[in-house]
Structure 1
Amino acid sequence: MTRTRDRTGRWPGMITDGLVASAVFAYNLPIQGFGAGPGGYAALLIPLGLCLPYLWRRRRPVAAFAAIVAVAALQLLAGVGLLAADVMLLAGLYGVARLRSWRWSVPAAAAVAGWVIAAVAPRLGEYFLGPRDLLSLLGLVLVAWFAGTLARTHSDHLASLRARAEQAEQERHAQVEAAAVAERIRIARELHDVVSHNLSAVGLLAAGAASCIDTDPRQARSALRSLEDSSRSAMQELRSMLGVLRSAEPTGHAPLPGIGQLRGLVEQSVALGVPVRMTLAAGSAELPAGVQLGAYRIVQEALTNVRTHAPTARAVEVCLRRTGDELSIMVRDDGTGPAEPDREDAGHGLIGMRERVGALGGRLRAGPRAGGGFEVVAALPVRGSG
């Protein structure tokens, strides 16, 4: 398709060049050249040789110009005087200056100027030719070269502007795509944290209710009520999160969780049988919303991993402490840790934590403890918070 458009776009220029060459050749026929020279076929072939190469001046400007100069040189050697078709030398020079660099156009201009001097100087004083006429013809050579060079400079400038505009457009598209990918990762991370935490709680509550529904119906009903509360809380948090993700405008949904909601998170884990003890240092709650959400999600994911992969843990410790411009988060347990560390579900949680900490410019270390159990330690920078 592109090649077809290029060929189609060349036709108007080729037709124009053909009309110009034909007009010059037709105009030359009834006009006698200055000075004696052969007639007959020579008088016909020389103008034809000067005009015909002009048809290729767009695709092969240097070759077309060289052919015109060669025919003009034969014209001098044959003793044919100046012809109207000699104007094709100027047209060929313009084509070289228009489509090629100075490395080609300057020698071309010198060649035409040399031809003009060789053709006119011997005839000064004849046929009304004087020094002023010679200077005028040399001036036309300069005008043809300058016009072609100016057109090429303008064309190169436009091409440079188009290239910069295309590059800017490509960069803009790349930035939009990168932002879209980052947004998808952020949404996936939020969904994973919310869904995995609440589904693990629902699973534990459902298993507890199923295990005692025959032996202790009251305990089973209590577990089912807790399951209902956990499901309702999960739906409310999902609605709040999706409402924020859909629009940056203020909404009527509850705000996203922060450090203030950690106690409820710990109480839920305790209710599910996970012995959690939390230490929250003073000043930790006076933090930017993004840091608070990050801290909440890290603790949430760590506690979810404890329930899922270390159900035998007898003690889980959660500690948040602000030191200068940094918030330290530590979650450790004394359980056996994940039996399969490279499982897909466990891997997604740790990857999400690392991405979240990295987005906030912090550091994360997660792995087995030397004395047994598992430990998650994160450090989030706090900027501009009082």
Structure 2
Amino acid sequence: MEEQQVRRRCGPHEEPDGAPRPRPWGTRRARRVPWRSTLAVAVIILVGTRFAAQGQHRAALDGLAWALLLLAPALLLVRRRWPVACLAAVAGVTLLYLCAGYPYGPVFLPVVVAAFWAVVGGHRRAAWWIVGVFWVCHVLFAHWLYAYLPPAGDHGSPWTQELVVAAWVSAVLAGAELVRVRREEWARQRAERAARARRRADEERLRIARELHDVLAHSISVIHVQAGVGLALLDSDPEQARTALTTIKAASKEALGEVRQVLDSLRAPGDAPRAPAPGLDRLPELADQAAAAGLTVTIATDGSPFPLPPGTDLAAFRIVQEALTNVVRHSGSRRAQVRIGYGPGRLALRIDDDGPAGGSDAGGSGNGLAGMRERAAALGGTIEAGARPDGGFRVRADLPVQPKETP
């Protein structure tokens, strides 16, 4: 749900963090037939070759020449779908045109365009090989085999021309390499942004699940105990049963309020929360709820209390809440002690009960201790939980408090 909301709030070409999202080359749009650019290349070749042919002692442009000049750019229509095959075919058609002795001109342009797309498409080795073979073949035709090829009486091409062509092709391929590297960098950045978005969504889902577990586990445990009391005393002591039902009503109302507060976080970011998150200042309310379930809770404080960061305050409250819920569910003790220790840069929590384990059927997923450890670990703290030598049970939490967050 979180990922869907993020995507709906982003533009069609934006990532969840607001950064522009480059359109990948392999998308549906990138695979459309590039007829406009191909038509432009064809016009350049036809017009440019007609003008370049003037003054050259080469074979006259005939029907075959015009067909080859049209075929080379026509093959560029498939350069996005089959880049390597397109480059090989264009190179072959261009070599055939040159072997036939037709005039020079912008006939190398389709080879350059096809090579560029092959490199950008990730086929760099094949592109370099095809272009290298093409250049070697052209050198052979232009400097050694020209006497056996039309037109009659042709002379070898100057080596300066070959060096210029080689320099231009190398520059184009180098530019294609730069584009390819940039494209891979964009892809890596997109993948990292998508991974961060998924990680944030997973963390948010985990936070909501943990909050709902803590809220519902505590309230439903109180409701379960009071429902049992009400059923047992419904006939013998209706007034006490009425008190139990009143407690159930109050506990369910409290649970609904906290669940609504947790679900408020699913609204659009920036909206103010409808109620402040619970903190240690609500421990007296927590003790009253536990008392309604038959558990007497005493709260003691060591050190001088100071305001806590919201995240630490909420985590401390939930840890105490889950520990007391476990006492109600699983302990035969009707007494619990909560001790809060304020120290330099740290907050210590200790929740004790006298035991023994009660084997209650109050239900639960068994994730209470795991949830407490996750909360503490998220803040860089630790949780220790285990039986005491005298038969009771103790939960000890140590949470760091950043000095810059304390007044």
- Quick one: which amino acid aligns to residue 325 of structure 1? G
CA 1:262/1:16 → structure 2, altered by over 3 Å: closer, same or farther?
Answer: closer
Cα distance in 1 for residues equivalent to 2:272 and 2:133? 71
Cα distance in 2 for residues equivalent to 1:199 and 1:4? 52
**Aligned position for 2:121:** none
CA 1:259/1:9 → structure 2, altered by over 3 Å: closer, same or farther?
Answer: same
- Quick one: which amino acid aligns to residue 358 of structure 1? A
Q: CA deviation at 1:306?
A: 0.7
Q: CA deviation at 1:63?
A: 7.9
Question: What CA deviation, in whole Å up to 9, does each residue of 1:258-306 have, x standing for no partner?
Answer: 1111122123323432132221223345211211111111111111111
**Aligned position for 1:337:** 357
Q: CA deviation at 1:313?
A: 1.0
- Quick one: which amino acid aligns to residue 109 of structure 1? W
- Quick one: which amino acid aligns to residue 138 of structure 2? V
Secondary structure in structure 2 of the residue aligned to 1:84: coil
Cα distance in 1 for residues equivalent to 2:32 and 2:261? 58
**Aligned position for 2:279:** 258
CA 1:69/1:287 → structure 2, altered by over 3 Å: closer, same or farther?
Answer: closer
Percent identity, please.
Answer: 29
Is 1:249 aligned with 2:271? yes
CA 1:188/1:7 → structure 2, altered by over 3 Å: closer, same or farther?
Answer: closer
**Aligned position for 1:117:** 143
Cα distance in 1 for residues equivalent to 2:65 and 2:353? 99
Most deviating of 206-215 and 318-327: 206-215
Whether the 8 Å contact between 1:97 and 1:145 is mirrored in structure 2 is no
Secondary structure in structure 2 of the residue aligned to 1:328: strand
Whether the 8 Å contact between 2:280 and 2:316 is mirrored in structure 1 is yes
CA 1:377/1:116 → structure 2, altered by over 3 Å: closer, same or farther?
Answer: same
Is 1:369 aligned with 2:404? no
Whether the 8 Å contact between 1:357 and 1:380 is mirrored in structure 2 is yes
Most deviating of 3-12 and 372-381: 3-12
- Quick one: which amino acid aligns to residue 335 of structure 1? G
Q: 1:301-312 to 2 correspondence within 5 Å?
A: 301-310=322-331, 312=332
Cα distance in 1 for residues equivalent to 2:298 and 2:265? 31
Question: What CA deviation, in whole Å up to 9, does each residue of 1:50-80 have, x standing for no partner?
Answer: 989969897264687579869988x8xxxxx
Say how many residue pairs are matched: 360
Cα distance in 2 for residues equivalent to 1:214 and 1:3? 72
**Aligned position for 1:173:** 194
Cα distance in 2 for residues equivalent to 1:154 and 1:34? 33
Larger radius of gyration: 1
Q: 2:373 aligns with which of 354, 357, 363?
A: 354
Cα distance in 1 for residues equivalent to 2:360 and 2:112? 77
**Aligned position for 1:29:** none
**Aligned position for 1:295:** 316
Q: 1:328 aligns with which of 348, 366, 369?
A: 348
- Quick one: which amino acid aligns to residue 348 of structure 2? S
Cα distance in 1 for residues equivalent to 2:261 and 2:94? 79
Computed over aligned residues only, the root mean square deviation of the Cα atoms, in angstroms, reads 4.8
Whether the 8 Å contact between 2:340 and 2:347 is mirrored in structure 1 is yes
- Quick one: which amino acid aligns to residue 249 of structure 1? D
Is 1:164 aligned with 2:185? yes
CA 1:128/1:248 → structure 2, altered by over 3 Å: closer, same or farther?
Answer: closer
Cα distance in 2 for residues equivalent to 1:226 and 1:108? 88
CA 1:95/1:21 → structure 2, altered by over 3 Å: closer, same or farther?
Answer: same
Whether the 8 Å contact between 1:333 and 1:373 is mirrored in structure 2 is yes
**Aligned position for 2:399:** 380
Cα distance in 1 for residues equivalent to 2:75 and 2:263? 65
Whether the 8 Å contact between 2:41 and 2:110 is mirrored in structure 1 is no
Secondary structure in structure 2 of the residue aligned to 1:182: helix
Cα distance in 2 for residues equivalent to 1:21 and 1:199? 80
Question: What CA deviation, in whole Å up to 9, does each residue of 1:145-166 have, x standing for no partner?
Answer: 3333333333333333333333
Is 1:202 aligned with 2:188? no
Could you say which structure has the higher helix fraction?
1
Cα distance in 2 for residues equivalent to 1:7 and 1:236? 53
Cα distance in 2 for residues equivalent to 1:119 and 1:16? 33
Whether the 8 Å contact between 1:260 and 1:285 is mirrored in structure 2 is no
Cα distance in 2 for residues equivalent to 1:84 and 1:237? 84
Secondary structure in structure 1 of the residue aligned to 2:144: helix
**Aligned position for 1:192:** 213
Is 1:84 aligned with 2:102? yes
5+ long unaligned stretches in structure 2: 1-25, 51-55, 80-84, 119-125
CA 1:117/1:223 → structure 2, altered by over 3 Å: closer, same or farther?
Answer: closer
Cα distance in 2 for residues equivalent to 1:205 and 1:340? 14
TM-score, length basis structure 1: 0.71
- Quick one: which amino acid aligns to residue 365 of structure 1? E
5+ long unaligned stretches in structure 1: 27-31, 36-43, 76-82
Cα distance in 2 for residues equivalent to 1:350 and 1:166? 41
Is 1:211 aligned with 2:237? no
- Quick one: which amino acid aligns to residue 354 of structure 1? R
Cα distance in 1 for residues equivalent to 2:202 and 2:260? 22
Secondary structure in structure 1 of the residue aligned to 2:348: strand
